[in-house]
Amino acid sequence: MNAKLQKKLYEKYPKIFQQKDMSPRETCMCWGIATGDGWYWLLDHLCASLQFNTDENNRDGRYPQVVATQVKEKFGGLRFYTAGANEKQDAVINFCCALSYHICEECGSIEHVRQTDRGWIRTLCRKCYRKAKCMNILYKIKRFFRLTKITQFVRKFNK
Cα separation, 67 vs 69, whole angstroms: 6
Q: Does the structure show a pLDDT above 90 at 9?
A: yes
Domain residue ranges in the chain: 3-158
Q: Does the structure show a pLDDT above 70 at 8?
A: yes
Q: What is the pTM of this model?
A: 0.80
Specify which residues 130 forms β-bridges with: none
121, 108 contact by CB (below 8 A): no
DSSP 58: G
Percent of the chain with pLDDT over 90: 58
Q: What is the pLDDT of residues 120-148, one digit of tens each?
A: 888 999 898 888 777 666 666 666 666 66
User: Long-range CB contacts (< 8 A, 24+ apart) of 28-31?
Assistant: 28/69, 28/70, 28/72, 28/81, 29/68, 29/69, 29/70, 29/71
Task: With H, G, I as helix, E, B as strand and everything else as coil, classify residue 84.
Answer: coil
